[in-house]
Amino acid sequence: MKEIDLRSDTVTRPTSGMLKAIMSAEVGDDVYKEDPTVNALEEKLAKMFGMDEALFFPTGSMANQAAIKLHTQPGEQLICDKWAHVFNYEGGGVSFNSGVSCKLVDGDRGMITAAQVEENINPPDFYHSPLTTLVCLENTTNKGGGACYDLEEIKKVRNVCNTNNLGLHLDGARLFNALVAKNEDPKDYGKLFDTISVCLSKGLGTPMGSVLIGEKKLMKNAIRIRKVLGGGMRQIGFMAAAGIYALDNQFDRLAEDHKRAKEIAETLASATYVDKVEPVETNIAIFYLKNASNEAAFMKKLQKENIRISNMGQGKLRIVTHLDYSEEMHQKFLKLLKEIKL
Ligand SMILES: *Cc1c(COP(=O)(O)O)cnc(C)c1O
C-alpha cells in the first residue's frame, strides 16, 4: 500500500476533478486584476461570508501578515493566544513586516475568551505601553488540536473590540473545518470579523492559495500590501480554479475527515500505551504516550508500516486526516494502533 501520511492536511495531491478544473481554467494577468478565474474566486468567497471584498494570496501566512499590516502601525500591539500561528509559525513576520508586538494570552487549546482579551488591553492613555489595536483569533486552532470556538464567545470578543476600538482578525486557515463540524453559517463570521483569512490548501486540498476577505475600508490597501510582500501573481487563475472546484466539490467531505479523526482518537484512548488524547472536534488528533521515552519506538513501528505522523515535541504527537487518507488506509491504521505493544 502507498504511504499513509498523516502529518498534515497539506500533503494532499489534486484530485482528478481538480486537475481538470485547473487545465481548463480561463486565465489572465492577475496583477492587472484581469484574471477572470481569480476574480470569480474572490467574488465567490466575499459573497459566501457576506463581506465586501476578497483578495487571493499565495499562502495563509502572507494573508495573515497582510491583514495584520492593514490593521496596525509600527510600535502597536496585538493580542493573541500563546499558541497562535501568527506568533509561532510565521517566521516572526508580525515584528518583521508590521513592527508590531504580540501580547500572548494563556488560552484553552489555542482559544481565548473575551474576558482575557479585555484584561490584556493596555490602557490607551498610558503612553509607556504599546498601544493595543488588534485581536487575532484562530479557528480552528492548529496547535490546539483543531478546536472550534463557540460563536457566542466570539460575539463577546467583538463587543470588547468595539468598546476599545480594536480591529478583529480571524486566522481561518481551517475555518472550513469549523463550519462543517459545527454546521455554522459563514455569514455569521463575516458579521463579526473585520478581516478573515482562509486556506484552500489545507482540508480543501488545493496545491496552494489563501484568500483574505474583509471590509472595503480595510481591503482597499490590501493589494498594495500584497505587492510589498511580493505576493502579486500573474496567470494564477489556474490555482483559483482549483479553489473554486474545492469549494464546490470537496467541502462537505470534510465531515469524513472529522469522523476518521474521532475514530482514531477513540482507538488511541483505549490503547494501553497512550496517556491522554485531546478532545477531537475536527480533523486533528493530538495525543501523548504514557512513557515519553517510547516515542522513538512508537514512531519506528509506524514507519515500518509506511505511516507518518507529526511529533510536536514535549511528548505531543499529532495526526491530521485529509482527502488522500482513504477508508482502506484508515482500517489498516486502526488495526495497527490496536496491535502495537510498547
Ligand atoms: C497553515 C496555517 C496557516 C497558513 O500557513 P501557510 O503555510 O503559510 O499557508 C495559518 N494559520 C494556521 C492556523 C495554519 O494552520
Q: Which of 250, 272, 290 is the last residue of a domain?
A: 250
In angstroms, the CA 288 to CA 267 distance is 13
The ranges of the chain with pLDDT < 50 are none
Please give the pLDDT value at position 286: 97
The cell for 47 is 459573497
CATH number for position 321: 3.90.1150.10
Dihedral angle of Cα 296, 297, 300, 304, to the nearest 10 degrees: 180
- Total tally of structural domains belonging to the chain: 2
- Report which protein residue has its CA nearest ligand 1's atom 6: 60
Q: Based on the domain organization, do 33 and 88 belong to the same domain? A: yes
60 lines ligand 1 (CB under 6 A): yes
3-state SS assignment for residue 198 = strand
In angstroms, the CA 225 to CA 212 distance is 12
199 lines ligand 1 (CB under 6 A): yes
Q: Based on the domain organization, do 171 and 92 belong to the same domain? A: yes
Q: Which of 234, 250, 266 is the last residue of a domain?
A: 250
| Bond preceding residue 140 cis, omega within 30 of 0 | yes
Q: Which atom of ligand 1 is nearest to the CA of 201?
A: 9
User: Phi then psi for 172, rounded to 5 degrees?
Assistant: -105, 40
CA of 89 to the centre of ligand 1 (A): 8
Q: Which of 204, 224, 250 is the last residue of a domain?
A: 250
Q: Based on the domain organization, do 88 and 207 belong to the same domain? A: yes
Please, are residues 68 and 134 in contact by the beta-carbon 8 Å criterion? Answer: yes
The cell for 221 is 490597501
Helix or strand holding residue 212 (H, E): strand 210-214
Count Cβ atoms within 10 A of the Cβ of residue 24 and give its class: 0-12 exposed, 13-18 middle, 19 or more buried. Answer: exposed
Q: Based on the domain organization, do 225 and 271 belong to the same domain? A: no
175 lines ligand 1 (CB under 6 A): no
Please, are residues 12 and 254 in contact by the beta-carbon 8 Å criterion? Answer: no
End-to-end, the C-alpha distance of the chain in Å comes to 24
Count Cβ atoms within 10 A of the Cβ of residue 120 and give its class: 0-12 exposed, 13-18 middle, 19 or more buried. Answer: middle
CATH number for position 88: 3.40.640.10
CA of 338 to the centre of ligand 1 (A): 32
What single DSSP character describes residue 31? G
Edge to edge, what strands does the sheet with 101-105 contain?
A: 53-57, 210-214, 195-199, 167-172, 132-138, 77-81, 101-105
Q: Based on the domain organization, do 214 and 150 belong to the same domain? A: yes
Please, are residues 226 and 203 in contact by the beta-carbon 8 Å criterion? Answer: no
CA of 68 to the centre of ligand 1 (A): 14
State pLDDT tens for residues 312-328: 877 789 999 999 999 99
Q: Based on the domain organization, do 197 and 72 belong to the same domain? A: yes
Give me the chain's average pLDDT, please: 97
- Report which protein residue has its CA nearest ligand 1's atom 5: 60
Which residue of 57, 171, 239 sits with most ligand 1 atoms within 8 Å of its CB, as the best mutation to test the pocket? 171
Q: Based on the domain organization, do 141 and 263 belong to the same domain? A: no
Please give the pLDDT value at position 312: 84
Range of the domain at 225: 16-250
Rg (CA), the chain: 20
